[in-house]
Structure 1
Amino acid sequence: MAKHDPLDTVLKLAKEAEEQAGLQLKSAQLMLQKCQSQLEALRNYRLDYMKQMESHHGKNISASYYHQFHQFVRQVDEAITKQITSIQEADSQREHRQKYWQEMQQKRKAVELLLSHKADKAQQAELRREQKMTDEFASQLFYRQRTR
């Protein structure tokens, strides 16, 4: 039975951590996109409402309607400001998750490199062992031929 290398377990765990970090990054990217879409919708809504008010230009409108219009636009502007803050927070979270994913990726690659170096050393040791056996066999053959 082949001997189990503890680095194989470390590699498995590193791959799982990298995958988990990748999923978290994807989730953060989706959240950022959602926030950006909501901001775009709010801005479009505000623009449509402003166009609606512009269509009343030159017409008689009541002071209360005008007041309600401005109050509503102010509320939409506040929502836009809050959404911009949400986007900044979501982008910050995305950046954090991306850095973490990159760290996990580097750790996995480092373990893979260690395993590769270990395998290379083992292969070199095996080649030296085979060369030594070949040399011994050749020496014995030469010695036998000389002693005849």
Structure 2
Amino acid sequence: MATDPLFTVLKLAQDAEEQAALKLKAAQLECQRRQSQLQSLNSYRLDYMQQLSAQQGKQIRADYYQQFHRFIRQVDDAIRQQAAVVQDADKQRQYRQQYWMETQQKRKAVELLLEKKAAARAVKQAKQEQKMTDEFAAQQFYRQRLNSSS
């Protein structure tokens, strides 16, 4: 019996699913990396704000205070930009996850088809075996009848 072409389709579906899983993993790692960078920026900002709080009650030069606020605005801008980068990375991760789930679903559909074909073959084979058994039993019955009537 020739190899079922569905096995080739299954192999292709498995390869596509594997590639999709690798791309999903890369997107997850990139998303985590960018999220970590955002957390670092937020932590950096918090540290500087705590330094300013520690200066309360002490005399601070006006130019130092202005410079500090200018720096905090720059950090805030960097945080907003990084938050947008994180959002883009998360969208990419979601897209990759959806694609991986679709490839997984396709693979499972091909596997189900192969299972159904195998089950149908097993039923057909069982019927053929039963038919052969019935024919053998009938032949034996007729032989015994012929032998007993002679």
Q: Report the TM-score when normalising by structure 1.
A: 0.94
Local SS of the residue matching 2:10: helix
Task: Report percent identity of matched pairs.
Answer: 60
Gaps (5+ residues) in structure 1? none
Q: How does 1:94-133 map to 2 (within 5 A)?
A: 94-133=93-132
Q: How many Å separate the matches in 2 of 1:103 and 1:130?
A: 41
1:19 is displaced (CA, Å) by 0.8
User: How far is the alpha carbon of 1:85 from its aligned partner?
Assistant: 0.6
1:31 Cα deviation (Å)?
A: 1.1
The 5 A counterparts of 1:75-90 are 75-90=74-89
1:37-116 pair list within 5 angstroms:
37-116=36-115
Task: List per-residue Cα deviations over 1:18-69 (Å, max 9, x = no partner).
Answer: 1111111111111111111111100110011111122222333222212211
User: Structure 1 residue 91: deviation in Å?
Assistant: 1.0
Q: Does 1:136 align with 2:150?
A: no
CA RMSD, Structure 1 to Structure 2 (Å): 1.1
Unaligned runs of 5+ in 2: none
Kindly report structure 1 stretches of 4+ aligned residues shifted beyond 4 Å: none
